[in-house]
Amino acid sequence: MRIEHIALNVADPLEMARWYVANLGFVVKRRVMQPPWAHFLADETGQVMIEIYGRQDLAPPDYAAMHPGTLHLAFMSDDIAADAERLTRAGCTREGEIQPLPGGDEMAFLRDPWGLCLQLIKRAEPML
């Protein structure tokens, strides 16, 4: 077995999906243009997918209140500083500075415009 996707219940799935396509390079694989507005988005490899939807019968989590260690979406980055700057211009907010990690990795946390934590990670030794 392998993971197909992870699903995120959000308040504004249409705008969030558009933003993820425009700013994070996702591609829409399937979408439902009526409630719950489900959008299945694949990353540039086509091997990782997220679902963004808005269930009206369930309140979405308060992603902005969650500590980055509780939930974050991690993105590999060759240039964390440049990607963080680009995403900040697109509406993200920074959660601290770029941090060196043991083993030579580097990371930074940002919040997308809806409060979901995004991690930018540069691995000294790629894991995938």
So where are the chain's domains?
A: 6-53, 63-122
**What pLDDT, on the 0 to 100 scale, is given for residue 70?**
97
Q: How confident is the model at residue 17 (pLDDT cuts 50, 70, 90)?
A: very high
Q: What is the mean pLDDT of the chain?
A: 96
pLDDT at 54 over 90: yes
Q: Is the pLDDT of residue 92 over 90?
A: yes
Please tell me if the domain spanning 6-53 has the same topology as the one spanning 63-122: yes
Q: What is the mean pLDDT of residues 92-106?
A: 96
One-character DSSP codes across the chain: -----EEEE-S-HHHHHHHHHHHH--EEEEE-SSTT--EEEE-TTSS-EEEEE--TTSPPP-GGGS-TTT--EEEE-S-HHHHHHHHHHTT-EE-S--EE-GGG-EEEEEE-TTS-EEEEEE-SS---
- CATH number at 63-122: 3.10.180.10
Confidence of residue 71 (pLDDT cuts 50, 70, 90): very high
The CATH code that applies to domain 6-53 is 3.10.180.10
